[in-house]
Amino acid sequence: MPPTPLESISQTARLFSRSGVRLEVAQDVIGAIISHHAELIGQEREQDAPRQDRIDEAQGLIRELKDIREALDAHQPASIEATINWLAPLARHLFADGNGNLAAHRRASQFEHANASLRLEGHVMSIDDLVVQARVADGLWTTEQAVSWYRERAKQ
């Protein structure tokens, strides 16, 4: 193999960027959550009496996720890392088998019931709400940490 000039080596180094790889990770995490909600839409449409409100809710979450994905920029690695750190627990939660941690499964089920009640009152969960619920259900956050997060968000 012929020797490579130094200029080519430095150009190749610039082509491979850790932030580019992390951008792909963030996009994969978002894509996993989108695929989960797309599957829910498909399951709902297969029902004898599809609930349009559930379909609309899932489509709204997908739009929200697409907006997050579109806003990602390889030149903003901190934003990419924040997106991964924020959404990855939700993706893991959505694709967990549920057999490993019965307490987490029970808490997740309780959130699903609460969300159903809120849905009847016209409230729709955002991606952030689902992330907080997944963190609490999986034991990553206490309820106090979740309340604190909501208080901080309300200040903004």
Cα-flanking dihedrals φ and ψ of residue 124, to 5°?
-115, 135
How far apart (Å, rounded) are the C-alpha atoms in residues 83 and 125? 18
pLDDT digits (tens, 9 = 90+) for 6-52: 555 555 555 556 888 999 999 999 999 999 999 999 999 999 999 99
Q: What is the DSSP letter of 76?
A: -
pTM of the model: 0.81
Give tens-digit pLDDT for 56-66: 999 999 999 99
Assigned token pair, 13: 């180094």
Are 124 and 60 spatial neighbours (Cβ–Cβ below 8 Å)? yes
The pLDDT tens digits of the residues spanning 62-89 come to 999 999 999 999 999 999 999 999 999 9
Spatial separation of the C-alpha atoms in residues 116 and 98, rounded to whole Å: 20
In whole angstroms, how large is the CA radius of gyration of the chain?
20
